[in-house]
Amino acid sequence: MPLPQAALGAAENVLVKAEGNTMRITITWVLHDDDTSVVTVPNNDTTFVVGSTTTSGFVISSSKYGGSVDTADEQARFMTEEMQLKGVEYQYQLIIGDTAISRGGLIEKISLQKSGSTPVTWKATLQFIVGDVVTISN
């Protein structure tokens, strides 16, 4: 599929392969209260680290979460407020622990499920689509 429609026609086309070679990584885990924050901001840059996942594109205010994201409820709030995809200009790097699996792409979907009464249990699922995020800027 040629994109975008341009005044110079085919000379400015970017060809997009719409099907095939798709890799999705789905990770499911249980959120639990932790003794320390599960989110760190190395060197106060636009990278934050969540457990085994490194994501870029956001600056996390330490005061927003009281200086720490350690309870399961805070972790769920962080995922819904900070990790939600808000546009194609955001790119993510998914690094899975000590497996040496590292891929770039987009967070396609985040699901949270809360169950139980005491203790309350949060189950989180992250669906990640692998690829080089290409956007057009003016």
Given phi > 0 = left and psi -120 to 50 = alpha, else beta, which region is 126?
beta
Q: Two tokens at 35?
A: 């003794």
Indicate the burial class of 123 (C-beta count within 10 angstroms; 0-12, 13-18, 19 or more): middle
Is pLDDT above 80 for 44?
no
> Which has the minimum average pLDDT: 6-15, 45-54, 91-100?
45-54
The per-residue pLDDT for 122 is: 92
Is pLDDT above 90 for 26?
yes
The per-residue pLDDT for 105 is: 87
User: Taking the model in full, what pTM does it have?
Assistant: 0.66
Q: Mean pLDDT, the chain, as a whole number?
A: 74
- Euclidean distance between CA atoms 134 and 136, whole angstroms: 7
For the chain, what percent of residues have pLDDT higher than 90? 12
pLDDT tens by residue, 48-86? 555 434 444 444 454 566 667 888 888 888 888 877 766
The per-residue pLDDT for 112 is: 94
For the chain, what percent of residues have pLDDT higher than 70? 61
Radius of gyration of the chain (CA): 18
Is pLDDT above 90 for 119?
no
DSSP 25: E
3-state secondary structure 67-110: CCCCCHHHHHHHHHHHCCCCCCCCCEEEEECCCCEEEEEEEEEE
Dihedrals phi, psi of 44, to nearest 5 degrees:
50, 35
Is pLDDT above 80 for 99?
yes
The per-residue pLDDT for 131 is: 85
